[in-house]
Every structure is written in C-alpha cells, then in structure tokens.
Structure 1
C-alpha cells in the first residue's frame, strides 16, 4: 500500500492511466482500489476529481476498444485465450452472454462492476457484432460511472483510508504478506474447484465419432446445447439439439428418464460449462449425461452438418 501511495504521489495520473488500461485488457490489477487510494491522497478539488475520473476512463476505454476489435476480428478464439488467465472463465462467458441477451448493449454498464465479466464483456460485444457507436457510448457511460464511484469513495472515506495506510505502514511487510496470502488462498480455491470439475468429467467426454455412433445406433441420444442464445443463432447448432440454461435444467430433468442417454455441448475451453450443467443434472437424477469433447467447434470441424435458424 505504501508503494502504491508513493507511486501515485510521484507519477500522479500516469499511474492511474496505466493501471486502468492494463486492467481493462485482462491483467489482474486492482484499478478500482488504485482509484480509491489516489482520490484519498489527492486534494479533493473539482479539478483533481474531474481529471482523475477522465484519465481513468480514458485508460479503461482504450483497453475496452482493444478487446472489442479483437472480438470482432478473431471471434470466439480470443475468448479462449482470455479464458486461460481467468479464475472462472467459462461461467463468466456464459453470464456475460446471458446479460447481453437480456439487456442488450446497456449490459455494458452492469458488467463493469462485476469482476471477470468486465474484461470479457468488450470481447463478447465484438463477437456479437455490436455497432461501434453503440459500444463506444455505453462503454463510456460505464467507465465514467464505475470510476466516479471509486473517486467518490476515496474522497468520502479519505480519513479512514489514511488510517488503513498508517496501520499497514506499522506492520510493514507482514501486513502486505497477510493480504497476499489471503488472495493466494482464494485463487487456489477457485483453481481446485475448476480442476475437480474438469477431472470429474474428463473420462466421460464423448468424441464426435462417439456421438455419431450413438445417433446411428438405437440409443436415441438427447443432445443439449449449453451456449448462449446468440451463439446458437450466429454459429449454428447440432441438428436436433435442445437449448438449455441454468433456469431450464429442472425441466430437462423432469422430461427424461434417469437412464436416458444425454450429450451436452458448449463452445468453451475444457467443456467446463457443459460439465457444470452435467454435474447439476446428475445431482437432479439424470445419470447418463456426458459432455461432447471439443463442443460445437469439433462437430463443425469434422464436417458434420450444422443447422442455422432461418430468418
């Protein structure tokens, strides 16, 4: 914390610009905290408040536009790369897509306050082919609201923040080590949670050839599509597959017998969304449910038919 204060006092707005920019392109940096601390240690004049908010917003917007155009150009491929550095990537992609499906472009103002989603949202907006002007407007509004909140908190609680900084100064390295240990334990918990789920369904995953054999045989498998609605419309789906989300899992479980052969697919790394839904359906009572290895991408790349919704 002392180092942060020294950086802010030495380099001022450059620190704010750099950290907000780097966080917005996916690096795990505490930009919101930096804004609060900067506002707390900076004289609360109108000029300082406005310049701090605008510089932070500029850094955020530049990063958002980098990810937005990456999403437009590279599509879901860039999501896969971001997923590799995210704590809970696949659920974040699904949640972001669901928010866009429900609220459209204004969802950008919501996700800015949700860790994980705030980085993925510009990419998803690009993948969904959102218009540049619409993205620019709502991203600007989101950045201003988000960073204004941080500046306001820093100004309001400046005395309390000074007390925290003083306390950490007294404990020195021990205080910083304690914070790092807590953060490390949180990361470890999330990683173990994800690793357990992936390993649980790794042996059960079907290949595309396995699924074709089931379809050609007498198994009559039920195929579930665990992707957001927009991805289903834009990228097509496996013929006969049924869209499913968190809210429809109970209905799916009620509709089929426990021994029904079910295959579920998505378009996410490690089929984690499909595995997560499969785990929930197993707990409800469906025992023969397996994720499709490689999801819709593997199906399409193998030359199998992909169905598109006719306009």
Structure 2
C-alpha cells in the first residue's frame, strides 16, 4: 500500500483511524499520533468533519487517561514506578514527575500532552494523589481538546503543504524510509549512551546501609535526606533518621 492509498483510507475512515491512533498512543504504545492528526486535519472538508475528528481524539485521549487514573488510584505509585522503568533514572523519574504534578496541580493535565513522556505518567499520579475524578476528567478533556485541536488545525491550515509533502514522499519512499531509520537510530543511540553514562555514575562508591546506620548513631551524624515524593512516603512510610525534603 502506497502513501496515496493510505491517504484515501484515512479520508474514508478518518474518525476511527484518529480514535484508535490516539487511544494506542495514550495508553503508552509508540504510535506517531501527531502526524496522523496533521494528515487528518489536512483532509478536512468542512467544520462538521473537523468536529467529529476532534471529538474522536478527545474521547480516545480522555478514556485512556481515565484508565491510567484508575490504575493509579488502585495501585498507587507502583504504576508510576513501572512506567518509569524505561527511563534513564527510574528513581528520579518517579520523584520529579510527582513533584511537577504537585507543583502544577490540575494545570499539569492541561499541558501534559505537550510534554513528551509526561502525558502517560500524569494520569496515574493524579489517581495516586486522589485527585477529584470530575476535576481530573475536565482537565484531561480540556488538555486533550487543546492538543488535538492544535494538531488538526495546523494540518488544515497547512493542507497544501501536507499534500505536497505526501506526494514527495510517495515518489521517494526509500529515501524517506532511510532518513526515518537514521533518525531513529541516532535517537536510540543517544538514549542508550545516556543510560550507560548514568549507570557509570551510579557505579561510583556509595555508603552501604550498614555504614549509614552506624554513621547516624555518631555525634556528628550526616544529614540524611529522603527525596522521595509525598505519595511514596505516605504509602511506604518514612525512613528512620531521614529528613523529608523536596527537589
């Protein structure tokens, strides 16, 4: 199937394609949903069709966010810990994500879609923090409408350029595929290097738990900070001898 056939298929089933793409991306699958929204927007013929596409995107996004919210409400920070395992530093991922959410509150759900990675981890944090479900759905819906509406709108405004780009890619599929693969390889290599660098830094000598306990019992006890987020502290309890602090 060439790009022209893909475009024709999208034009016929645009609402379902947008719904499925957004849903898959919001549950955490690596689906390139923004290009889909741009392409769908470029094919819009009237306001009614645009409204249907926007509604499909918002419903899919809010539904996925709601599922993550329920998971966070039921399982707490363990959900976030699981999502953060793929990050370079899982520990700081949990703490920083929670701190960002606590600092921004409902506004974090509005801007979450525009921050790579944050759109998936924000809903379970909202659930873990017992945010009002009504407030969560309103904020998630507003953020989804803003995000999807912007992508669809840009696609419609640049509909001529999008179609020209599709025609060009259709004529140079192999070149485009090579560029995409090269970009992905560079990005993956960068991420692997960052993870390797972090592991090297984390491999530096550290004090053992036994040594820490012994040091805390001396007259010149070291300053021991607990930098975990409030949700984790509330669910697992504080660390003896530690002072709770925030990054």
Give the TM-score normalised by the residue count of structure 1. 0.71
Give me the whole-angstrom Cα distance separating, in 2, the residues matched to 1:19 and 1:88: 29
Q: Secondary structure at the match of 1:13?
A: helix
- Kindly tell me the number of residue pairs found equivalent between the two proteins: 245
Q: Which runs of 5+ in 2 are unaligned?
A: none
Structure 1 stretch displaced more, 186-195 or 151-160: 186-195
Give 1:218 shift.
6.0
State the partner residue of 2:102.
Answer: 101
Q: Secondary structure at the match of 2:25?
A: helix
Q: Which runs of 5+ in 1 are unaligned?
A: 247-311
- Asked if 2 retains the 8 angstrom alpha-carbon contact of 1:101 and 1:230, the reply is no
Structure 1 stretch displaced more, 109-118 or 180-189: 180-189
Return closer, same or farther for 1:134/1:214 CA change in 2, 3 Å cut-off: same
Describe how 1:230-245 pairs up with structure 2 within 5 A: 231-232=232-233, 235-245=236-246
Give the TM-score normalised by the residue count of structure 2. 0.87
State the partner residue of 1:167.
Answer: 168
Give me the whole-angstrom Cα distance separating, in 2, the residues matched to 1:6 and 1:89: 42
- Structure with the largest fraction of helix: 2
Give me the whole-angstrom Cα distance separating, in 1, the residues matched to 2:181 and 2:108: 32
Superposition RMSD on alpha carbons, in Å?
Answer: 2.5
Return closer, same or farther for 1:208/1:44 CA change in 2, 3 Å cut-off: farther
State the structure with bigger RCO (CA 8 A, min sep 6), 1 or 2.
2
Describe how 1:226-265 pairs up with structure 2 within 5 A: 226-229=227-230, 231-232=232-233, 235-245=236-246
Describe how 1:88-167 pairs up with structure 2 within 5 A: 92-167=93-168
Give 1:118 shift.
0.8
Divergent runs of 4+, >6 A = none
State the partner residue of 2:183.
Answer: 182
Give 1:80 shift.
2.1
State the partner residue of 2:197.
Answer: 196
